[in-house]
Amino acid sequence: MYKYIDIHSHVNFSAFDADRDVVMKRAEENDTIVINVGTQIDTSKKSVELANKYAEGVYAIIGLHPIHTGASYHDVKELGEGGKEFTSRGEILDKDAYRELLKDPKVVGIGECGLDYYRCDEESIAKQKEAFVAQIELANEFNKPLMLHIRNGSAKVHPAINGTPQEGNLNAYFDVLDLLKKHAKVKGDVHFFAGGLQEAKAFLDFGFTLSFTGVITFTHDYDEVIRNTPLDMIMTETDSPYVTPAPYRGKRNEPSYVKEVVKKIAEIKNLPESEVAFAIMQNAKRVFGLHF
Ligand SMILES: [Zn+2]
């Protein structure tokens, strides 16, 4: 009997090359369902392969991360040491390549896609928007939910829009919402929710669930948002190998730690842990159309 679900994990990344099967087995032993998420065509293919290695309890989401629409990004945990040949040279979304993957019944969503204003300029924002809209169209075509990646920018790191250095924060949440309102016929989930009450309300009103990571185990920044998110609109994830929850800080993150996120949500909402775990599983079944 599955009790927990990690709706956003990257066991498909190179950080797990040495012990991927052991990590997946530990998830199974901890009654945890895993959805591995792609970030470009290679990691998307890998997530589908991984899902098909197991008879049950493992699914895939495929798509192009906004960061990989640009050429400069390389993360060793994602693509490996000396994996330069796999570094995205600025992937232009090939709809047919992703359509091929979408035929697989283990693929339960599209993403992670959206807008990342953390490191960007005018040109990269235009590319990100184009790739995001293309993925919304694919989601409409296949009637699959969207796994959204949204990150705000700060004045310190992003240079210029229309040639003018930006003052203050650049909010990606409302730009994503505008594009969804214009194009999307499907709903989905806001992965790694990092907005405030206003952003939370806007996405919840639009019918998107919010998912939380291990970050909530070591900061109180999201307590208020979690208190205000109805139990039937909340999800849990690890975003492994990143953001390891307490008490495992300092170690590589993995799906079996998702129970720490459930425990914290139960604590914040002052509800029994079993009730919260059950509700989250129902939410995931509903949003991603899982049958088991
Ligand atoms: Zn991710």
- Would you write out the chain's pLDDT as a tens digit for each of its 292 residues? 899 999 999 999 999 999 999 999 999 999 999 999 999 999 999 999 999 999 999 999 999 999 899 876 667 788 776 555 555 668 899 999 999 999 999 999 999 999 998 877 777 888 999 999 999 999 999 999 999 999 988 644 455 556 565 555 678 999 999 999 999 999 999 999 999 999 999 999 999 999 999 999 999 999 999 999 999 999 999 999 999 999 999 999 999 999 999 999 999 999 999 999 999 999 999 999 998 8
DSSP letters of 15-54?
GGTTTHHHHHHHHHHTTEEEEEE-SSHHHHHHHHHHHHTS
Distance 16 CA to ligand 1 centre (A): 14
DSSP element (H, E) containing 61 = strand 58-62
How many Å lie between the centroid of ligand 1 and the Cα of residue 267?
25
At residue 86, the pLDDT reads 52
CA 38 to centroid of ligand 1, rounded, Å: 8
Q: 163 alpha carbon to ligand 1 midpoint, in Å?
A: 31
pLDDT of residue 146: 98
Question: What is the whole-number distance in angstroms between the Cα of residue 279 and the centre of ligand 1?
Answer: 23
Ligand 1 centroid distance, CA of 238 (Å): 9
User: Residues near 120 by Cβ (< 8 Å), separated by ≥ 6?
Assistant: 70, 128, 153, 158
Whether the CB-CB separation of 42 and 30 falls below 8 Å is answered with no
| Ligand 1 centroid, distance to 164 Cα (angstroms) | 31
- Residue pair 255/11 in contact by the 8 Å Cβ criterion: yes
- How far is the centre of ligand 1, averaged over its atoms, from the C-alpha of 252 (Å)? 14
C-alpha 116 to ligand 1 mean position (Å):
12
Find, among 176, 168, 169, 236, the residue nearest to 202 by Cα.
176
What sign does the CA torsion over 272, 273, 278, 280 have?
positive
How far, in Å, is the centroid of ligand 1 from the Cα of 246?
19
CA 159 to ligand 1 center in whole angstroms? 25
Residue the block writes with tokens 């998110």: 229
CA of 150 to the centre of ligand 1 (A): 10
Quick one: pLDDT at residue 117? 87
Query: Which pLDDT score, from 0 to 100, does residue 155 have?
Result: 45
* pLDDT score of 156: 45
- What is the per-residue pLDDT for 165? 55
Instruction: Note residues around ion ligand 1 (Cβ under 5 angstroms).
Output: 239
Query: Residue 278 C-alpha to ligand 1 middle, in angstroms?
Result: 24
The pLDDT of residue 55: 94
Ligand 1 centroid–CA 63 distance in Å is 11
User: What does residue 158 show for φ and ψ, rounded to 5 degrees?
Assistant: -110, 135
Q: Which domain holds residue 261?
A: 4-288
Distance 65 CA to ligand 1 centre (A): 8
The residue among 22, 12, 26 whose CA lies nearest residue 65 is 12
Rounded Cα–Cα distance for residues 166 and 219 (Å): 28
Q: How many independent structural domains does the chain possess?
A: 1
pLDDT in the model for residue 247: 97
pLDDT of residue 244: 97
In the reported structure, the alpha carbon of residue 10 is separated from the centroid of ligand 1 by a whole-number distance in angstroms of 7
Q: How far apart are CA 217 and CA 258, in angstroms?
A: 11
Q: Whats the size of the chain, residue-wise?
A: 292
CA dist 116 to 105, 124, 135, 203, 233, Å? Answer: 29, 9, 15, 17, 23
CATH code of the domain in which 17 resides: 3.20.20.140
Distance 147 CA to ligand 1 centre (A): 9
CA of 101 to the centre of ligand 1 (A): 18
Residue found under tokens 């290695």: 53
159 sits in the region (left: phi over 0; alpha: psi -120 to 50; else beta) called: alpha
Its pTM surpasses 0.85: yes
Cα–Cα–Cα angle for 188, 117, 34, rounded to 5 degrees: 35
